[in-house]
Chain A
Amino acid sequence: MGADIGDVVDGEEVALDSLDGAVALDAYNAIYGFLANIRQRDGTPLKDSKGRVTSHLSGLLYRTANLYEAGLKPCYVFDGPPPELKSATVEERRERKQEAEERYEEAARRGDEAEMLKHAQRATSLDQPQVETSVALLEALNVPWMEAPSEGEAQAAYMCREGDVAQVGSQDYDALLFGAPVLVRNLTIRGRGGSDLTPVRYVLDDVLADLDLTREELIEIGVLVGTDYNDGVHGVGPKTALDVVRDGETRERLEDGDPDADLDEIMELYLDPDVTDDYTLEWREPDRDAVVDLLCGEHDFGESRVEKAVERIEEATTQSSLDRWG
């Protein structure tokens, strides 16, 4: 989930077509979004004839094609092992999902489609088979992907700071805390009813200048409202947190409200996360036969729609842009 600081950071709505360059996408964040949102009205995800979930493959293929077509070059960054501090969050999420699953069953017994959809989305889990098929699809599409040494968003933010990608794509604001110069939300997500959401672009320097804060102080806001590494102070939202940080009272409030949080340790995780230079970004032409074999052969996708999406990616990967010589 990441730190919910959306109420205090201002972004700019931008047209998808106006974005260009490489984008490092938080892979788990994107795939989780596909699994949660690409569902039928009663919450049933897309499945192949063997009953295996395919919502994530559908999302990956069509969104990736859309991003390419808009002039972006996507690469997917998967989480590696989480930092130790995050294990509490992971456990808590597991419990929440279990509860949602139970409530989904209840709703199903009542036949309440709206409730079923809601709880099915909350119960979304991203398991190993889905990660594996996602990676297989990215390989077939020749879309670059990598596993981060630790947090995907930290690695994506690092690649953006290095100038290897022009922006990070995620729904979470954590990328800003990790120091990504540019974060774009709504790149891989669709709104209710399948309509596209407008991308929102956040420029870290502008965000900090607007709030007159340092990045460390922005992280403090995150810690006060709660991050993947701590619970946050009960009853403190981003706006209150902003006042607390401006008053220089972060440590006091944490001592009272979230005594387990170690501000220095969390600060360190955001400022100096485990990242790597071991990646290559190459956007090559998709292997059309491999994509068709995987999606149509294995998972019962319709061939003509898949071919069309592959063609859109082919076009984008075979035609260079004048920017290269600009």
Chain B
Amino acid sequence: MFQAKINAGLLQSSIDAVGVFVDECKVRVDSEGLSVKAVDPANVGMVELDVPADSFDSFEADDELLGLNLTKFDDIIGMAKAGDVVALELDPETGKLKIQIDGLRYTLSLIDPESIHQEPNVPDLDLPGEVVLAGAEINRGIKASGMVSDHMAFGVEDKSFYMSAEGDQDDVRVDLTEDEVISLTAEEDARSLFSLDYLESMSKAIPSDAQVTLYVGSDFPVRMEFELQGGDADVSYLLAPRIENE
């Protein structure tokens, strides 16, 4: 059983956060809320989304696993206007998802969850650098790096956090000291390199006004945690690093 009502904007940004890595995913619903764990086909980027039951206008669910085509779902939710409420209901007879947006009814066929890429195991990583900063700062660093290269570094050194990219011709570097970010803890210096292809897509899902916690290690995956719409949903990204040769 699954029956819920949710603000269209929150639902849209939740789907977008997952859509960065996959076109279809398994959605878990239970009494606690709705959650997704997914990894892109190349196993480079992982997303965990958690929308607690409280964040819905109304929410009732027994344990269900729904196979969702995100591209289609995104198009449907795109029909909503700002402030609309989306009603979702799993039809127990047909196994389809009934979606209602202000008089518009859409019956969406679900995908067999078995046919979807397995949910990933989330690795337990000990990352020495932890920085909390505004989404706008990260997005700016990613945008600037994208102008000069196809990969960029996140790093911590001397009590500051940096983003940098070296291109064939031009270089970019953003340094943010302890005082310029919300908080910074670095047990040791760390630096890892990442593909901008991935970061640029992730950047689109990171709200400028969100407070992002970024964990970085040396040649380790980067973890970014943030909240959508002021605490209504939690997103956590994990991105595998580029391999630095030589």
Task: List chain A positions with a Cβ less than 8 A from chain B.
Answer: 17, 20, 71, 284-285, 317-326
Contact = CB atoms under 8 A, between A and B. Distances in A.
B123 A319 contact: no
Nearest to A321: B43
Contacts of B41: 17
B165 to A, nearest CB: 15
A15 to B, nearest CB: 11
A319 B42 contact: yes
Q: Is the interface of B mostly helix, strand, loop or mixed?
A: loop
Interface of B: 39, 41-46, 120-121, 123, 125, 151, 195, 220-221, 238, 240-243, 245
A326 B44 contact: no
Given A71-B42, A319-B42, A325 B221 contact: yes
A315 to B, nearest CB: 9
Given A325-B125, A326-B123, 17 more contacts: A20-B43, A284-B245, A318-B151, A318-B242, A318-B243, A318-B245, A319-B42, A319-B240, A319-B243, A320-B44, A320-B240, A322-B39, A322-B123, A322-B221, A322-B238, A324-B240, A325-B220
Nearest to A142: B245
A17 B117 CA distance: 11
Listed from nearest, the 9 A-B pairs whose CB atoms lie closest are: A325-B123, A321-B43, A320-B240, A322-B240, A285-B245, A318-B242, A322-B43, A320-B243, A326-B123
Nearest to B220: A325
A319 B245 contact: no
Contacts of A324: 240
A231 B151 CA distance: 57
A20 B121 CA distance: 16
A326 B122 CA distance: 7
Nearest to A317: B243
A90 B144 CA distance: 62
A322 B125 contact: no
Nearest to B198: A319
B221 A319 contact: no
Contacts of B243: 317-320
A323 B242 CA distance: 13
A319 B120 contact: no
A2 B238 CA distance: 46
In this complex, which of A317, A320, A323 has the most chain B Cβ atoms within 10 angstroms of its Cβ?
A320
A228 B46 CA distance: 48
A320 B198 CA distance: 13
A14 to B, nearest CB: 14
A323 B44 CA distance: 8
A322 B242 contact: no
Given A325-B123, A325-B221, A326-B123, A320 B42 contact: no
A199 B184 CA distance: 49
